[in-house]
Structure 1
Amino acid sequence: MTFAEATAIAGTSSQSSYNRFGDYSQTSLDPDGLTFWHTGQYCSSASGQETRIYSFQLPAGTPTDVSNFNATAVSTSQIDLTWTLNSNSNPVMVAWNTTNSFGTPANGTAYTAGNTIAGGGTVLYYGTANNFSHTGLTPATTYYYKIWSNTGSYTWTTGVTDNATTFSSGNTSYPFTLDFESSADYTTSFSPWTTYDGDAQATYQSSDATFTGEGTAFAYLCMNPSLSGWTAAQGDAAHGGSRCGMAVCPADASQSNDWFISPAMSLGTGSSFSLWVLSPKPSTWGNDSYQIMISTTDNQPASFTALSSLVEAPATWTQHTYSLSAYDNQTIYLAIRHVSTDMFMFWMDDLQFNSTISSSNAATIVSNPSSSSVCTGGSVTFTVSATGDAPITYQWQKNSTNIPGATNSSYTIAAVAAGDVGAYRCIVTNAAGADTSTVANLTLSTAPSITTNPVSATQCAGTNVTFTAAASGTATLTYQWKKDGSVIAGATNASYTISSITAGNAGSYTCVVTNSCGSATTTAAVLTVTPATAITTHPVSLNAYDSDDVTLTVVAVGSGLSYQWRKDGINLSDGGNISGSTTATLQITNVSPSDYGTYTCVVTGSCGSATSNGAVLTILTGVEDLEALRPDIYPNPSNGDFTIDLGQTPASGNYYVYDLDGKLLLWRMYKDATQIVIDLSGRAQGTYLIRIDVNDKTFFDRLILKN
């Protein structure tokens, strides 16, 4: 590596006596190619010497692309590329495309011939040469090229582009005709013929016909008079068959400039061109005019000169014939140019070239091989067909290199492997010449490979669960979910969701991913469904005497259950005569009137909570309380007012009214009373509980309200 002489660091003073470099030094280049190491004696004082070592790197130069990059067509099937390497003679990579669209090579990535660049471009060449010939191309086709320099470790420069168009080989089979019958109705594409809309104006519309594209800007359109309604309106039809070519004048009344251009025609002798023309409905718009144009270079309008003067198309189908003898044994392009001003339509049909070609016909490709993507181990066959004088020989190539023994019109690889990936083409040859097919790319399809397995889940009943799988492999990938080995109908996406799961959804779930190369199955994801917390047996109401022991029990299902007993809606805790307040069984020992109330249990689990029905604990104070001393309540049932007879002796105390859930609805104090009236009017009909404290006695009973 050579560097121009330059000052690295400018000195500020000279060294003298000590504090200077001494008698020996050495500078060497590190194996990394970037770092310089310097070793030298240094006099730090009048009496001391030492060795100092240091390193440095020169500033990196700006990476440069190649210069003088040129693409030059040299034949119908070859373009030569030339360039000058950059000043560092870095290796280069050349890629091509059929459009001027190229991706950016990934730094750190080595590319070889046949590789594709993400974003556009196929690699042709990598190395340090300054030229490359791109062969096997299609005649009269523009190819685009881009070249990058590798400045080290596959770091790529910005790149330089160029393009070239291969020579046209020209048609040699006559008569060469176009009757429009194979064209789609109202299409503006007529390959291999091309069009050019020189005026680029919206066209006239007509009430006599309705067709796709009417009123838009186009050069020529495939007209179907009958389908459009024109035949019924005017009586005009295509000359032969049901379709013809049509140009329409600009709607702004400017001159039409519409071109219908033939492919390249390699003429022999006695050459001519004929066509049938018509001006529909001339009584209204007049006769449209056209002109025959000729080019001997290419199909661009600027290259054409007039073969005829302006010619009117008559009111009836008429054949016009033009001699091309002046162009015998040349390759030409012919154009029919519509040139009317503020007329309307020009129709043409049954176009025909005639020429006599010598009996010597070079081998010519008529059917090219097709690109293919094949599974590993699968077979692939590339096929080409050609015309020309016999015998025709065939030679298949891979990445522009002959394949030994591949000398038939078809080439088969019985079991495709990774090493077979590449660009294939065939060269056909006879005594009169040779032709090269277009490239058919062989790529390798891969079977599915699971990259993400579904994950097992434990969830509560009633929730939603989603299983997801992901796989790599050549598109198109299909998915099929299974439960316990059985196909789940309709579960054909990468994710499978079950809404509001139940115990019946519990099981083992897998997904089978399939493409044309095979299938892969995920590991199983197990779904465990935890039941929602629910009470199956509720506590029951009890009557107990003073000093009795009572037990209330609840039975529930669910996971991770916990219990909390409540009295009249207030949490209980163990202590006194209460135990088991946080278990399934509540025990109350030595009951007394203060234990009267409604008892419920709240059961909580991992899947929610549930509250039991209320169980009413009634405390009986003795037989005499139940019989002789019990207050008399009437009417009961009642539609609102209840009278409680306390006896002949006035009494004092409190009374409490509860609903069956133990909720206190009414509390009153009374004094020196022999009767109490309780009004429950307006409340919902049903059974209510009443507690009456009479002096030192407590009584319990039920009130039945009927509306």
Structure 2
Amino acid sequence: MFPWEAFAQVVITQQPQSQNLSSGASLTLTVQATGNGLLSYQWRLNGVNIPGANSSAFSIARFQPSDSGDYSSDVAQVRAADLADLPFTDAMNGQNRLTRSTGRGSNAGATREPGEPNHANKSGTHSVWLSWQAPLLGGVATFDTAGSSFDTLLAVYTGDSVNNLTLVAANDDVNYCDDPSSGFHTSRVRFNSKAGTVYHIAVDGLGGAAGDIVLNWSVNTLEGLLSVLSVAPSVTLGLPGDNLSLSVSVQSLEPVSYQWYLDCQSIPGGTQNTLQIVDLQAAKVGNYVMSVKGLLTGQQTLSDPTSVQINITDGQAIDVAEDGREQVADSQSGRRTLARLPGHANLQHRWGHQRPGRTQPLR
């Protein structure tokens, strides 16, 4: 039984705020609501539905006088009966096309295929697949697993077989500091979809998790193309006093500005594509995020977080395994065991049910 089948009243906890904007400025409206499970959103301008505006936030990259008016968001509780079954398959075949914008499925009993990659670079054993074809105009596509009953992994690929895939986007846990809403165990990806291209969508469970899947997607043909960011390395380990370096590569159609953040706080002087971390200490440990802003459109894109950690705990050296767990090496015996370090909880932004956690906006 899906947890949101029980009746629950939707409560708006934060209303969209009125704004006065100049032509060409960027606009973002947000609404916050609570309910028992998955919520649906529909933004309206002067009472008319805005196509594709189906999340808790609505943005216009370059505001024009014609965009002026009264904006509202209709928030409703989604019941399991409202969700249709999606054509998930255990093996990737490219024929199970996704058409509905929201639906459900399950990865219980599913298995990995020989040669299948680790989705979002994390270990999973119960992957299922869908395919989706971008519309003729392409656009910015958004997929998320809000409302799923387990910790999901989500990945998008192109290619003709599981042994010949090109990664487009992947995510374990949504981690966007600029959105005050927060949840847990939800994955979300956004990418520039190319007209008519067939994409393969994989959903798996972190560390062998399985259960009920809810998949939501939308494509915005009017939104400007996203800058594509890649921060390296994804995890950085050092000793106290070490000097470390983070760098970001950017693919963008316009010139951009840079700003680095540590745990959602802007880093003074961190305005280049490379960040030097000098004299590593506990205060510099955490999650680093790069924000890139288009100088022409004002559109902001955030990178996935990269984790910086000190790798000595109680005299033991820490390495990171491929599945994200830490291998603790006993310097005397040479034995290795798997462990998790405290303080690795990322700041989370989820689009589903919530539990207590720390979240902060970018500052």
- The alignment's TM-score, normalised by the length of structure 1, stands at 0.19
TM-score (norm: length of structure 2): 0.33
User: Which has the larger strand fraction?
Assistant: 1
* Larger-gyration structure (1/2): 1
Higher relative CO (Cα under 8 Å, sequence separation at least 6) belongs to: 2
